[in-house]
Structure 1
Amino acid sequence: MTARVLIVDDIPTNVRLLEARLSAEYFDVVTASSGAEALAICQAGEIDIILLDVMMPEMDGFEVCQRLKADRRTHHVPVLMITALDQPSDRVRGLEVGADDFLTKPVDDVQLMARVKSLVRLKALTDELRARARTGQEIAIEEAMRVMDQISSEDGKILVVDIDARQTERLRGYLGATNRVDVLSNPADAALAVSSGDYELAIVSMSLGDFDPLRVCSQMRTAELTRSLPIILIAEEDDRPRVVRGLDLGVNDFIMRPVERNELMARVRTQIRRHRYAAELRQSVTNTLALAVTDELTGLYNRRYFDRHLSIMLEKAQSQERDMAVMLIDMDFFKAVNDTHGHDIGDAVLREFADRLRRNIRGVDLACRFGGEEFVVLMPDTDFRQAQAVAERVRHAVAERAFEADGARPLGITVSVGVSLNESDTDTPEVMLKRADVALYRAKREGRNRVVFDAA
């Protein structure tokens, strides 16, 4: 995982310390010694996450964060505020001006890296949604921003998972005035409860007796319906190592006991608002693009959309020195399916293949129907090893089970796959597609039902 990190602090020693820690993890680090300089850097270039000191002369971190979040060009950039202060009121103020997280000096290395990596993953997904919206129509982003301004964080539906009745009643008292709060005392039922309850946030206690709270979180992240559900852990000081593991599993936030009312409410509002924003953005993108850029038969994006999106994502990958892969897929001997069984059966097979393709690529990958029985997948931030794993998973998902075709005899289908990687600044969309096409034809010549990579 790589990203461009901006460190903002007026004390050079603090800057050098953080820069050394992050550079050791291969992050690209940019520094600023004042709020004004930080704002200028964010306006001039692409920043993935900001580590922002609170106590600075002239313009403090709260004001800098507020300005960043008020600007549509930078409001989506995660801000991790760092301060020597350890007062709940300061944390609440930071969250209320839009900070995504808060760390106290001296900064613990494990917490720092866990928080940064978690926010970088969130930024990558946000960037992908924004890029897809731009590809379809610029107005989609404008509409999403307008909706964002109108979104409220009130009346959220929250599930609290805790076996301590006294603790849950205290949480219900804190949150119940402005939210609908349900309590679940049996952690084993958590995954089922959130999948059927239309919840917008889960609060999970780290003290669940014999039941592992991280398993609860993992089950929520595994289920399709709750994969994007925000999760906040409530932890004791001794739970910090497990909290770090939880963040790696996809937990969004945590709060330490004793739980301070205002901090809890601020963190809950932040997560609910972000969840609603993401839902609205996805819906806006879906509505705007559906007719013009999707393939009517399979529901995947069409070639027109892919060609434009590939240009945007390749330019971004090259400017930020990031990996990217393109996977071209062709169904083997598909003409024989149409000739033998008719186009209705062929169309049913194409729809089923598109479903299997969706289920076996990652959330950030973009699948499109390229034409006929040919499909293409754009994979951002993907190196050789990751691309090979996804390609083999797709190939296996097609070959392992026959296709049911409206009462006809099940059909055994395989695919040939060609993959190309973003390997130099001179690559163009046409070059990457040509290399993937060459690899695809090698896969055909070598016997089909295989994955082949083609180098520059």
Structure 2
Amino acid sequence: MSARILVVDDVIPNVKILEAKLSVEYYDVITAYNGPDALVLAEEESPDLILLDVMMPQMDGFEVCQRLKKNPVTAHIPVVMVTALSETADRVQGLEAGADDFLTKPVDDVALFARVKSLLRLKMMMDEFRLREATSQDLGVISPEDGPGSLNQKGRILAIDDNNFSAQQLRAVYEEKYDVTIEGDMEEALVLARGGDFDLAVISMNCTGFDPLRLCSRIRTLEETRQLPILTLVDDSDTERLVKGLELGVNDYVMRPIDNNELAVRTRTQVLRKQYQDRLRHNYHRSMELAVTDALTGLYNRRYMTNHLNTLLSKAGADYRPVSLLIMDIDYFKKVNDTHGHDVGDDVLKQFSSRIGKSVRGIDLACRFGGEEFVVVMPDTDLAVATGVAERLRREVAGQPFSVSQGTLELDITCSIGVTMSQPNEQSDTLLKRADEALYQAKRDGRNRVVTNSAPA
């Protein structure tokens, strides 16, 4: 996962050590040696993550973090404080200032990269939602004030712990400010999570009746709970389980013995983030319903895709990150309409759209380009990954007949797909043209295949 990371520390050797560790993992590292410079670089360079020392002269890390979070330009950049301070009060102060997590010096490599990867995954997802919201605002289909309500509405928490004593401790911490549900059985917890519209799952890693890591994995796998934040309660000595949890998609953790103040602050952060994410998703769906979806298939329409693609390419202009594009066409679709009628053709288009949705990733944008032609925009994606997704989609379409006319007719359908990747400073029209050329090559070569067009002629 390539990303730009800002390292801030007044001690030059500390900066160099972190810079070397991150560079080995192919992160783009920029550095600052004091708070004021860090604030300027954060606004100018738009890093994906900030590793921020606490103890600095002139302006300490707490103040820097507060200023970053108050600035709309930098408020959504994850901040990890790197400090020799180990007191819980210091961690709480940092979290209150807006920090996403703490790393204690000397920094453990395993903990460093687990936390970096976890926060970068979250930021990528949130950036995509904010970008889609900005696109919708530019189109005038929603206003900046639109949303489902206050971000301070009472949150709903699902706490999973099969130890009755510690479960009641959690209830005592949460019941005044949150609507809390306690469950000690994994299967029951999953049923509740899938239907309960919770803002946070709090999972004890000390559960003995089931594997809590398995529970975390299943929450991330299920469609209904994939976006549910997870906060785990972990023994201080159980680093291996903590790291595995972060790799599985756990958002945050509190070490045992639990400090109630730290638990309360981390919980509040996750609940507010979930409610903000829900607001973004609400606006996104509302804007699609109003103006930018195709009425038949429910996918984005050409107008929205073009604006979104232009925004992505413009954003990537100064800091090149590839945008890949898939253009696909249903093979012999005219024959379907001519033989069976347009109602059957519409059924095919709907099912084809559904299969696209199952095959592409959450950050990708799929649209109906026109007629039986569809486009998928894939941000921050190279040609190899895009080709793999295209091949998976081709197999998904060809592998099972399309059931149409209310199940009375089955049709074998295939598609041809053209794939290309943007070049630095490329415009959307040339990118679309190259993908289209690859599509027509796939048709000339016999259809039901994927063809790539790697670079401009």
Q: Residue type of the partner of 2:360?
A: I
Check the 8 A contact 2:137/2:143 in 1, yes or no: no
Judged with a 3 Å threshold, the aligned counterparts in structure 2 of structure 1 residues 47 and 119 are, in CA distance, closer, same or farther, namely same
Q: Which residue of 2 aligns with 1:25?
A: 25
Q: Which residue of 2 aligns with 1:68?
A: 68
Q: Which residue of 1 aligns with 2:385?
A: 386
Judged with a 3 Å threshold, the aligned counterparts in structure 2 of structure 1 residues 71 and 140 are, in CA distance, closer, same or farther, namely farther
Query: Shift in Å at residue 289 of structure 1?
Result: 4.1
Check the 8 A contact 1:92/1:262 in 2, yes or no: yes
Check the 8 A contact 1:349/1:403 in 2, yes or no: yes
Q: Which residue of 2 aligns with 1:405?
A: 404
Query: Shift in Å at residue 452 of structure 1?
Result: 1.2
Query: Shift in Å at residue 315 of structure 1?
Result: 2.9
> CA separation in 2, counterparts of 1:247 and 1:175?
24
Q: Residue type of the partner of 1:143?
A: P
> CA separation in 2, counterparts of 1:197 and 1:307?
37
Which has the larger displacement, 259-268 or 382-391? 382-391
Query: Shift in Å at residue 402 of structure 1?
Result: 1.4
1:193 correspondence with 2:192: yes
> CA separation in 2, counterparts of 1:254 and 1:213?
13
> CA separation in 2, counterparts of 1:141 and 1:90?
41
Q: Which residue of 2 aligns with 1:177?
A: 176
Q: Which structure 1 residue ranges, 5 or more long, are not aligned?
A: none
Q: Which residue of 2 aligns with 1:304?
A: 303
> CA separation in 2, counterparts of 1:338 and 1:149?
46
Check the 8 A contact 2:185/2:209 in 1, yes or no: no
Judged with a 3 Å threshold, the aligned counterparts in structure 2 of structure 1 residues 247 and 344 are, in CA distance, closer, same or farther, namely same
> CA separation in 2, counterparts of 1:140 and 1:148?
16
1:114 correspondence with 2:153: no
Which has the larger displacement, 6-15 or 124-133? 124-133
Query: Shift in Å at residue 395 of structure 1?
Result: 1.2
Q: Which residue of 2 aligns with 1:230?
A: 229
Q: Which residue of 2 aligns with 1:104?
A: 104
Query: Shift in Å at residue 291 of structure 1?
Result: 2.4
Q: Residue type of the partner of 1:447?
A: G
Count of residue correspondences: 453
- Aligned identity (percent) is 51
Query: Shift in Å at residue 143 of structure 1?
Result: 2.1
Q: Which residue of 2 aligns with 1:132?
A: 132
Query: Shift in Å at residue 147 of structure 1?
Result: 5.7
TM-score by length of 1: 0.95
Q: Which residue of 2 aligns with 1:50?
A: 50
TM-score by length of 2: 0.95
Q: Which residue of 2 aligns with 1:332?
A: 331
Residues 354-398 of structure 1, C-alpha deviation per residue, up to 9 Å, x if partnerless?
111112110000001100000000111212332122112211111
> CA separation in 2, counterparts of 1:261 and 1:9?
30
Q: Which residue of 2 aligns with 1:143?
A: 144
Q: For the aligned residues, what is the CA RMSD? A: 1.8
Matches within 5 A, 1:284-303: 284-303=283-302
Q: Which residue of 2 aligns with 1:342?
A: 341
Q: Residue type of the partner of 1:358?
A: G
Residues 200-245 of structure 1, C-alpha deviation per residue, up to 9 Å, x if partnerless?
1111111222522111011111111100000011111232112111
Q: Residue type of the partner of 1:60?
A: D
Q: Which residue of 2 aligns with 1:208?
A: 207
> CA separation in 2, counterparts of 1:332 and 1:91?
59
Secondary structure of the structure 2 residue equivalent to 1:401: coil
